[in-house]
Amino acid sequence: MQERLKELQTEALEKVSQSANLKELNDIRVSYLGKKGPITEVLKGMGKLSAEERPMMGALANEVRDAITSGIEEKQKHLEEAAVHEKLAAETIDVTLPGRPVKTGNHHPLTRIIEEIEDLFIGMGYTVAEGPEVEKDYYNFEALNLPKDHPARDMQDSFYITEETLLRTQTSPVQARTMEKHDGKGPVKIICPGKVFRRDNDDATHSHQFMQIEGLVVGENIRMTDLKGTLEVFAKKLFGEDREIRMRPSFFPFTEPSVEVDVSCFKCGGKGCNICKKTGWIEILGSGMVHPNVLEMSGFDSKKYSGFAFGMGVERIAMLKYGVEDIRHFYTNDVRFLNNFQVHE
Ligand code: PHE
């Protein structure tokens, strides 16, 4: 019995040392040390031994088991290390190979216009404010001096969600929201970019969804001349130093007086061409002095405070600036169109 056990040990360790992978090693473990293995088989004969021999044989059987187990463990460590080395060798990277070129994206032309305008106004001390696209009727209309049955609501056909909520038709509700937050204390100096929605039929110059940028300044002694100076800086920055602006009387319920602002044509310089429709001027935005009702409704004392506001369509500005003829190009994301606006920074 003793000999048989020794034999088994030698035989098992021999196989262990010859095993070439973890699977083979595991098979050896199962076949020698498992319940149905030869060692268990030998030990079954222990019953036939004398009481003195039994503990000795038990100890020997344990020794043999331990020897085989540690033989297997050691081999396993070797095999695992070898596997790691092999993997590392296979995965070496040749750092001298040329890399794959990375295709960089580009800002959408509308984003560029918005950022350009934001930068300009941030430079003049404005902060950027945002508001919800699903807006309350109150902020979109009522707080802007457009009560429920006001005829001027027809100027902006709206998508209503419930009777009291709609997709905002302009960024002006952000004015009302911001003023309300200021709790009657000036100054307020904000610029609000964002998406707006109107029930228009889409064509080359209309879209049911577009972007606006709104500006609002409220403080003491804010005058129409401040508005004019500000817009002049804006027009020169965006359309070129030689530009001039002119104001034409207009109507918005939330401003009084209200004006439409034109910029002198950047193509013909004022002589008259197809872009300015032979007038020398191009309309770019609506603006005016904040209506006292709007100030009061948002908690400002209109005797102490005054302000100006302006709002423009970002697509319109981008179309003029980049000579884009169809507003729908901005939304269809044709790369041939977008690639025209590649900037290499
Ligand atoms: N919200 C106006 C519009 O969408 C534009 C505007 C903004 C006019 C602020 C005056 C002052 O037509």
Nearest protein CA to atom 9 of ligand 1, as residue:
310
Domain boundaries, the chain: 2-90, 109-341
Instruction: Say what the pTM is.
Output: 0.71
CA of 168 to the centre of ligand 1 (A): 12
CA of 235 to the centre of ligand 1 (A): 17
Q: How far is it, in rounded angstroms, from Cα 176 to Cα 197?
A: 18
Nearest protein CA to atom 10 of ligand 1, as residue:
287
Q: Going by C-beta distance under 8 Å and a sequence separation of 6 or more, which residues neighbour residue 302? A: 292, 293, 295, 296
* Residue of 170, 234, 256 to test ligand 1 pocket, by largest number of atoms within 8 Å of CB: 170
- Decide which of 1 and 116 is more confident: 116
CA of 227 to the centre of ligand 1 (A): 14
Task: pLDDT band for 1, please (50, 70, 90 cuts).
Answer: confident
- Give backbone dihedrals phi and psi of 165, rounded to 5 degrees, phi first: -130, 145
* Residue of 214, 228, 295 to test ligand 1 pocket, by largest number of atoms within 8 Å of CB: 214
Task: pLDDT band for 345, please (50, 70, 90 cuts).
Answer: low
Tokens found for residue 152: 């001027």
Predicted confidence at residue 157, as pLDDT, reads 87
CATH topology of domain 109-341: BirA Bifunctional Protein; domain 2 (3.30.930)
The tens digit of pLDDT for each residue in 192-239 reads 999 999 998 999 989 999 999 999 999 999 999 999 999 999 999 999
The tens digit of pLDDT for each residue in 52-108 reads 888 888 888 888 888 888 888 888 888 888 888 888 888 888 889 888 888 878 899
CB atoms within 10 A of CB 328: 15
Triad 224, 226, 230: Cα angle to 5°? 120
